[in-house]
Every structure is written in C-alpha cells, then in structure tokens.
Amino acid sequence: MAVQKLPLAKALNESLRTALENDPKVLIMGEDVGKLGGVFRVTDGLQKDFGEDRVIDTPLAESGIVGTAIGLALRGYRPVLEIQFDGFVFPAYDQIVTQLAKMHARALGKIKLPVVVRIPYGGGIGAVEHHSESPEALFAHVAGLKVVSPSTPSDAYWMLQQAIQSDDPVVFFEPKRRYWDKGEVDVDAIPGPLHAARTARPGTDLTLAAYGPMVKVCLEAAAAAEEEGKSVEVLDLRSMSPIDFDAIQRSVEKTGRLVVVHEAPVFYGSGAEVAARITERCFYSLESPVLRVGGFHAPYPPARLEEEYLPGLDRVLDAVDRALAY
C-alpha cells in the first residue's frame, strides 16, 4: 500500500530500506545497527536483508565511525551513520566539524561528502546521563553542515530520503520520544524541499515555531488556546540549518506575534537566531517581543527530574499568554 500508518521509527526503517534498495553505494554504519537492529530498532532487519557489507556493526568508537565514513564518501559511497545517543556524538565532534563540514570548501567544490549522521536526541524517555541531550545548536552553528529534524513519520521517511540523496553532509536529529508516535506515510508522494518549514496548524493571533519533539507539544498548546478563543498557528521548522526564515516571516506578518520553542536550553539556543532575524525582518509587523521557550541553562537532570526541566504544555501556554498580553 502506498499509504501506511507507521510509527516514526518504522518510517525511518522503511526509508533506509528504500535507500539501500535504490542505490548500491548507500551504506549504514554504527554501533549495534546490524544484528541487534539498533538500540531503538530503527535498522531492524536491514543487515539480514542486505548483508554485513552494507549494514556494518562498528566498534564503539564514534570518531572512527565518522572518520571511516569520510573516507568512504571520498570514494563515492553514501554512508548513513548512527550515533546511538545524542551525548555520544562528542568524541566524533572533531571529525564532523573540522573535516566533514569543511572538506568541500577546502577543495573549492571539487570534493563532495554525502554523509548522513543520524542522532537520536532529546529527553522524555527516562534515560540516564548523556542519553537525553539536545545539541543541535552546536552543529547548526558550523558552516558546511545541514541540520534537520522531523516531527512526523511522513517527514521522517521523506526527509531521510532527501538527506541521503544530498551531496552535502547532513546531521539528522531524530526525536527519540516520538519514535513510537504513529502517522500516515505516503511512499508515493512528492515531498517538498528538505529545508522548507510547514504549517502544522493555521492560526491568526500568534505563531508558535518549533521543530522535532516540541511540535507535538505546540499543537497541544494551540488546541488548548483555542478553547480560550485564541487562534494559534504552529509552524514546524523542520530544518535548523538552513532555517526557512521566509516561511516564519510570512506567518509573523499575519499573526503579529512569535514564540519559538525547543527542548534545548534557551541560552544561545537556535531560538535566539530565529528571534533576532525575525525582529529585524518583521519589526513593523510585531505586536509584542519575540519570546523563547526551552530548557534551562543547566546539565540535563536525572530522569526523575526531567519533567521539571523539559518545556511542556504549561510553559508554552504561559509564553502564549504573555505574548498576547502586549
């Protein structure tokens, strides 16, 4: 069937399967991606069907995984890497930032590095230390990297396809607490551009802009606000580098107010860039300051305290009320 209702994790699995079938140069690499099928079973069954030369269980060495992938990309392959958890990516940060992001520019465009780095990120699953972080702004800051995050199974399927087909390196953040959320996936659809934002819910009084795990929270906040007579538009940014500022501008020129929401700490977060750019672009359209909602500027807490740390419905609605009070 062309249209299926799938959990986000299964949509990613189907996307990887399609990529492996369509292009013999696509490889999957990572810790436990083969026989185990990945910690979250995103690669389940792929090694069995495509073999150990295409779906490769690597040593526990993230720097080695990325370094090997760079070499493979230079030889014409399209490696798709899995970093088991967000907090495990930092041993590979040097390779990603100093090599993967810069080789295309160093070679004056003669070298392409079609590498996808998949990173399950964010909290909400009661995990231990270094398993619930949101480091997307650290990568979005680096020129030469594209950074994206889907919020729905349909976007997970198509955005991963587009990331694999891209000749640029893409850091693909997967909201792990949404892995089991189901949604319709049309495998015969024609997807929109990878870095274009989408309107998840139309509204007229205020824009909520979010990506990844927080889109669902913003949709819940918009539904709650509607019960109080407030019309809130929800914009799924989908991409953190580049950011679709044109789409945000169009929404804000209509609503006059903007609240940016992400799990990562507000301090130096990606919401700050959105707030600054939209203030410049929409100064005469804004009816109130651009507000931000996110995590606290503190290390991610133990699992028992994560609900106090994570921005939830109440914090988003509080920002909505403050913006509408101006």
User: Among 1-5, 27-31, 83-87, 161-165, which stretch is predicted with the lowest mean pLDDT?
Assistant: 1-5
Reply yes or no on whether 141 is catalytic.
no
Q: CATH no. for residue 229? A: 3.40.50.920
Q: Of 194, 191, 198, 190, which Cα lies nearest the Cα of 215?
A: 198
Instruction: Read off the pLDDT of residues 19-59 as tens digits, 9 standing for 90 and up.
Output: 999 999 999 999 999 999 999 999 999 999 999 999 999 99
**Residue that terminates a domain, selected from 186, 217, 244:** 186
> Do the bridges between strand 170-175 and strand 146-148 make them parallel or antiparallel, or are there none, so unpaired?
parallel
88 three-state secondary structure: helix
Percent of the chain with pLDDT over 70: 100
Q: Are residues 123 and 236 in the same domain?
A: no
Instruction: Read off the pLDDT of residues 146-183 as tens digits, 9 standing for 90 and up.
Output: 999 999 999 999 999 999 999 999 999 999 999 999 99
Q: CATH no. for residue 144? A: 3.40.50.970
Our count of domains for the chain comes to 2
Which one from 131, 141, 195, 297 is the annotated catalytic residue?
131
Question: Could you tell me if residue 193 is inside a domain?
Answer: no
> Which distant-in-sequence residues (6+ apart) come within 8 Å of 134 by Cβ?
86, 121, 122, 123, 262, 263, 264, 265, 295
Whole-model pTM over 0.85? yes
Cβ–Cβ < 8 Å for 231, 204: yes
Q: Which residue range is the domain that position 135 belongs to?
A: 3-186
Q: Are residues 90 and 237 in the same domain?
A: no
